Structure 1
Amino acid sequence: MHAINFTDARKNFADTMQRVTDDAEPVRVIRRDAPDVVIMDAEEYEALIETVYLFSNPTNAAHINESMKQAERGEFVEVEY
């Protein structure tokens, strides 16, 4: 994750936001007398929250992990719609 101090983030806010969306990589804004903040692309944030939600249920997490192992072994099932 790229880090930038608050002053530089403020001076280059539009460029910083563009970098976040172009690179799909968050930027940490370091503040001297306050906690740091992170700027991230909204779609990346939503994907992260969805992943956390899906893995928060142990049964669902086990199913997803098993599915990933099957995919790594090349075990796929074709489905016709």
Structure 2
Amino acid sequence: MDAVSYSSFRKNLKSYMQKVNQDSESLLVTVKDPEDTVVVMSKSDYDAMQETMYLLSNPDLMARIRRGDKQVQAGKATVHDLLEDVDDD
């Protein structure tokens, strides 16, 4: 993760925002008081992190995922082609 001072971040806000979105790498914005330091990340990375945290915090869903993973590792899964939606137009 790259770090940048608040003053540099403020002066080049647009370019830092573009870099964060293009690189999918968070940016640490530092200030004198470490408690005021922030991390800037793209919305898509934030959304992915929130979804991961939701999945990990749901014990029932995690149990199902682990059960499915064990089935795949035991060779009890089958591969098939994806189905396509058929329009009734």
In structure 1, the residue matched to 2:42 is 41
What is the one-letter code of the residue matched to 2:19?
R
Q: CA deviation at 1:77?
A: 3.5
Rounded to whole Å, the distance in 1 between the matches of 2:59 and 2:68 is 14
Over 3 Å counting, the alpha-carbon distance change for 1:68 and 1:12 in structure 2 is: farther
Over 3 Å counting, the alpha-carbon distance change for 1:60 and 1:39 in structure 2 is: same
Q: Which moved more, 1:61-70 or 1:39-48?
A: 61-70
How does the TM-score come out when normalised to structure 2?
A: 0.72
Map residues 1-81 of structure 1 onto 2, 5 A cutoff.
1-33=1-33, 34-68=35-69, 70=72, 75-78=77-80, 80-81=83-84
How does the TM-score come out when normalised to structure 1?
A: 0.78
* SS of equivalent residue, structure 2 residue 83: coil
- Structure 1 portions without partners, runs of 5+: none
Count of residues in correspondence between the two structures: 79
Rounded to whole Å, the distance in 1 between the matches of 2:62 and 2:78 is 19
Q: CA deviation at 1:56?
A: 0.5
Q: CA RMSD in A?
A: 2.2
Q: CA deviation at 1:59?
A: 2.4
Structure with greater Cα Rg: 2
The CA deviation string for residues 32-67 of structure 1, in whole angstroms up to 9 with x for no partner, is 124211111111111110111011012212332444
* SS of equivalent residue, structure 1 residue 19: helix
